Amino acid sequence: MTGLGLGGFYLAERRAPAPIIDLSVAGHPRFLLPSLAALTAYMAMYTVNILLPFFLHQKLVAPELMGSLLTIGPVIVVLISPVSGWLSEKLNPSWLAATGLLITAVGLAIQSQLGDASDLWRVALGQALIGLGFGVFSPPNNNTILGSAPIEKSGLAGGLLALTRNLGMVCGIAMATSIFETVNTLAASGGKTPFYPGFHMTLLVAAGLAVVAALLSVGRGWMREKSGSGAVTVHAPRPLAGEGLGVRAVDSTTDPLTLTLSPLAGGEGTER
């Protein structure tokens, strides 16, 4: 039903004179690949967010300590994100995002091996790596998504980014609970103690999703390098009589520099 609904929505949007979602932007690979990377990254992130509290409860961790362990990741995201945003203006943002996702995958892999005998410092280490990786990933990926859309479509790009983020959260929670319950049911029918089989499998799948998201980011970076980042595109409308040309430059770190020349009152302009 979901597939039919999405297919019908796509066909309706293609034929609509004023579509809700401009498919010329949303369907372009330069926009689509980092959006898919964000979707899979948030799915991976919210897998551990939904299951780790149950693991800590299983270990009879005190609520105060449980809250402190769960806060490690978000705190590191807050601290690292400004640095990553600055680096995304200096380095290739797609490769920077891929690096962050690989760090996140390592953190998820560490969490997938937790058990009754695991020390809490391992939980803290895994959470720190997940937070570090996600903090490195998010700013350059957001920069890539927003920079891939024309400036007049920046509002649409921001809305689709928020939609992708929320969809990733919802799908991640649904996927985590489905895998967790299915694997634990199979384990119980085979005479094994439930909880840990489902916990381990779900977090391994989350680590795999983080790797897939990294590959999507690498694909976007490869497209950027193939197209060339030093090209300049100039659009110069012919001015009306008595009008000159003003220059408005939009500098994007993810796509070629675009200069738009717009008519301004007074003077005479040229077209290039």
pLDDT in tens, the chain (272 residues): 666 876 787 778 777 777 777 776 766 777 888 889 999 999 999 999 999 999 999 888 899 999 999 999 999 999 999 999 999 888 888 889 999 999 999 999 999 999 988 899 999 999 999 999 999 999 999 988 888 777 877 888 888 888 889 999 999 999 999 999 999 999 888 777 789 999 999 999 999 999 999 999 888 766 665 655 433 333 444 444 444 444 444 444 444 434 444 444 444 444 44
3-state secondary structure of 258: strand
Rounded Cα distance between 11 and 108, Å, is 38
What kind and span of H or E run contains 40?
helix 29-58
- Name the token pair of 38: 């964000």
pLDDT at residue number 19: 73
> What type of residue is 195?
F
Rounded Cα distance between 70 and 47, Å, is 13
Q: How far is CA 171 from CA 143, 168, 244, in A?
A: 23, 5, 52
Give the distance between the most distant pair of CA atoms in the chain: 86
Please check whether residue 266 is in contact with residue 243, taking contact to mean a CB–CB distance below 8 angstroms: yes
Q: Who contacts 221 (Cβ-Cβ below 8 Å, separation ≥6)? A: 92, 93, 94, 95, 98
Please check whether residue 161 is in contact with residue 107, taking contact to mean a CB–CB distance below 8 angstroms: no
Please check whether residue 239 is in contact with residue 262, taking contact to mean a CB–CB distance below 8 angstroms: no
> What type of residue is 260?
T
pLDDT at residue number 272: 43
pLDDT at residue number 221: 62
Rounded Cα distance between 196 and 118, Å, is 12
Residue with tokens 């509290």: 53
pLDDT at residue number 227: 57
pLDDT at residue number 223: 61
pLDDT at residue number 197: 93
